[in-house]
Chain A
Amino acid sequence: MAFSAHAQSSADEWAIPARDFANTRFSPLADINAGNVGSLTVSFTFSTGYLRGHEAAPIVVGGRMFIITPYPNVLFALDLRSAGAPMLWRFEPKPSASAQGVACCDVVNRGVTYADGRLFFNTLDGQTVAVDAESGRELWRVKLGNINLGESMTMAPLVVKNKVLVGNSGGEFGVRGWLTALDAQTGRQLWRAYSTGPDKDVLIGPDFKPFYESDRGRDLGVSSWPPGAWQRGGGTVWGWISYDPELNLIYYGTSNPGPWNPEQRPGDNKWTAGVFARDPDSGEARWFYQFNPHDLFDYDGVNENVLVEIPVNGTPRKVLLHPDRNGYLYVIDRASGEVISAKPFVHVNTIESVDLKSGRPNYSQSRIPQVGKVVRDICPHAGGGKDWQPSAWSPQTKLLYIPHQNLCQDEEVTPANYIAGTPYIGATVKMYPGPGGHRGALTAWDPVGSRVAWEITENFPVWSGALATAGNLVFYGTLDGWFKAVDARNGKTLWQFKAGSGIVGQPVTYRGPDGKQHIAVMAGVGGWAGGVVAGDLDTRDASAGDGWAAAVPDLPKFTSKGGTLYVFSLK
């Protein structure tokens, strides 16, 4: 078998969930294109046997496909060289069933990643596991998270320079967030960078040069909190990591601070709800930017950072594009951490503007939550203008394709009681559709002009990832189970297919051993948005599912549970 020695993907493969270090989710394959996508049909399917939210990307390397399920995180290898892609092996890590009780937003897993003949993934109960891609044999496993402190792991690892980078989840459980580097050969811990606490724990040293004044100073991870609150302050690392080999920097976001009730944590709450640039060798921080200082609405900073080069005032600059939960699209110089522009891509009334001089958002005073008061018409809602669902970038159209929701909420905050291993939130929310009445959209964003190029509105929030291809196509799935291909240039829907369950996964494409281009996606409704179906919630209670019951009470009429891989090709 030909397993290549890289952590990025060759033209025909899809080796890591975001496909490349830059997190573009763009494939150079163009056999399937805007002209012929209409005749796309199913080539095979595979039932995983599990019924929770299937958020992971199928991985394709060396004629094999690897897919991972939500808890209990079963890893399957399928043989793409044989008709019908029979199973080669399955690996069952058997995580603790109790971990399901500390997974805030369904028991999802966002993917397995491939590097140098090995597969790496996290289990819900806080383990990182390495498996031999050929045999399915376990190579090593390490226990990093503790469910009794509310820690779980759901993110997809990224392998950079023989280091497996993994982070924890649990921002709703008063967890202290971290990113950890493990030796890809042995699993030995090389470094750990916390998101709160003293500089030595955060790996902030002499090389730390944040662009903005408010991020400079000693031990801000302690002093920007009430005494001791940083120890249960969130800042978990459950989203995406990107890597720039030229600058030798990794980029990743940190989650919301805990608890949601902001009155319990006066201060900026460093280093939550922002983005870190770090040296992957030492873990040392180079810069940090906080999207949401003293976060008010559960606006995590964990969304993807897509590394691109775009002209700024006529000069090409190396930037990262970050569509944040707060509804703003940030263009940031990825060498310095300077915000070049920040403009809303959805309806936002919680932040009036972002001051590019100080880097700070101007919060709308009328929307600030207070104990003893119900604050209404908060837009975007706690899930943000966009949540974890990753966008895709096409270097051909120079547009960022953002799958997202259009929801607002009413909120009442209450004193949260910290009990380790139980939710630490202190807020009741009731969500509803934003202006226009549609609950989701796929927005093509032009980062040079800071404007919407085109937009497709959807009845339900778009909770799947996006895929862009050189065939001028963009693929995405809907919460009620439609899988769609649209023209990357104008958003015209060219093809659609109704899957057996809602789609919250990440579509990918590859050229199979048969020489044909294929498109693959997992269907299986769930995640925070689909919990109404996956968790059998009773929607008479608007606060069920942390507020999602009121946002999508009708979802059970449109789709039901599932867990199926769909693979498509041209007839």
Chain B
Amino acid sequence: MCSRSSEPRERATAALLSPYRAGVASVVVVMLLLCACEREERQFSAQGGSSPSAASMAPASITLSDLQPGVSTQARRGERELEVNAFSISEGQRLYEWFNCNGCHANGGGAIGPALMDDVWIYGSAPANIYATIVQGRPNGMPSFRGRIPEQQVWQIVAYVRSLSGQARKDAMPSRTDSMQVKPRQVALPREEPKSSAPPSGNQP
């Protein structure tokens, strides 16, 4: 299993520098391994690892407003730490259906709840914001799932939700579906630029 240590990179570099006989083919193979290696980076337990730290989830670190007097001090905390790979996204998709998220948000296009595949983020697009939305609920119909979904699984749902608008690496996103095709393949959809906006009506779902 791959790890994130620098060891494989060093070996790869050595392979690239070695005289010729390795050939172009091996370079390609190594490059593929590299991609595969990063892509398959995954976390198997809820302990430690790459889940956003408790500090980044403290209420004081979650911001719902773009308006901060003077210069913005907002760092998008949590975003970089979120584990995003094919495994977390596919697990997130399974859980998204299992916890009936699709009953309200469909396959990203929305229904009872707002669309998740567009560029509108009423309560924030950062992983910590989405995590907070799922756990806390929101006033206009979003249920609070606190105590109902294990923390690590919430993060996996967060990874999947972000992938719906292209906020994930293309090589980590599912390329085909096992179910009835209801939308273009995720990798074929554009990456949306998240905007902390309200829907055109001003309604706050």
Residues of A within 8 A of B (CB): 51-52, 97-104, 172, 374, 410-412, 414, 417, 419, 421-425, 428, 430, 531, 534-546, 549-550, 561
Contact = CB atoms under 8 A, between A and B. Distances in A.
Nearest to A373: B180
B200 A103 contact: no
A48 to B, nearest CB: 14
Contacts of A430: 180, 182
Contacts of B203: 51-52, 536
B179 A104 contact: no
A63 to B, nearest CB: 34
8 contacts: A100-B141, A103-B141, A531-B111, A536-B200, A537-B110, A538-B115, A541-B106, A541-B183
Contact of B100 (A51, A100, A419, A543): A419
A21 to B, nearest CB: 34
Nearest to B116: A538
B179 A541 contact: no
A545 B114 contact: no
Interface in B14-33: none
In the complex, the 3 A-B pairs of residues with the closest C-beta atoms, listed nearest first: A423-B103, A544-B109, A541-B109
Contact of B110 (A52, A417, A421, A545): A545
Interface string B52-92: 00000000000000000000000000000000000000000
A422 B179 contact: no
B140 interface: yes
B100 A538 contact: no
A537 B111 contact: yes
B49 interface: no
Contacts, number: 128
A537 B115 contact: yes
A543 B137 CA distance: 24
Nearest to B144: A98
A544 B100 contact: no
B143 A421 contact: yes
Interface in B85-122: 97-100, 103-104, 106-115, 117-118, 120
B189 interface: yes
B103 A172 contact: yes
B114 A536 contact: yes
B196 to A, nearest CB: 16
Contact of A538 (B99, B112, B118): B118
Given A100-B112, A430-B182, 20 more contacts: A98-B141, A102-B141, A103-B112, A414-B97, A422-B99, A422-B104, A424-B100, A428-B182, A535-B110, A535-B112, A535-B114, A536-B201, A537-B110, A537-B115, A538-B108, A538-B117, A538-B118, A542-B109, A544-B106, A544-B108
Given A97-B141, A99-B141, A422-B100, A544 B112 contact: no
A279 B114 CA distance: 43
B182 A97 contact: no
A470 to B, nearest CB: 40
A410 B179 CA distance: 12
Contacts of B137: 98
A236 B114 CA distance: 25
Contacts of B199: 536
Given A100-B140, A422-B100, A538-B118, A545 B180 contact: no
B4 to A, nearest CB: 34
B115 A542 contact: no
Contacts of A97: 139-141
Greatest chain A CB density within 10 A among B99, B109, B118, B139 is at B109
A370 to B, nearest CB: 13
B127 to A, nearest CB: 21
A544 B141 contact: no
Interface in B130-158: 137, 139-143, 148
B159 to A, nearest CB: 19
A240 B108 CA distance: 33
Nearest to A540: B183
Interface in B162-187: 179-180, 182-184
Contacts of B120: 536
Greatest chain B CB density within 10 A among A414, A428, A539 is at A428
A194 to B, nearest CB: 24
Nearest to B189: A540
B117 A423 contact: no
B98 A101 contact: no
Nearest to B119: A538
Given A541-B107, A543-B107, A412 B180 contact: yes
B109 to A, nearest CB: 3
Given A419-B99, A421-B143, A561-B201, A410 B111 contact: no
Contact of B109 (A417, A419, A543): A543
Nearest to A560: B200
B139 A545 contact: no
A536 B115 contact: yes
B111 to A, nearest CB: 5
Contacts of A425: 103
Given A101-B104, A417-B98, A419-B100, A539 B109 contact: yes
B205 A100 contact: yes
A374 B180 contact: yes
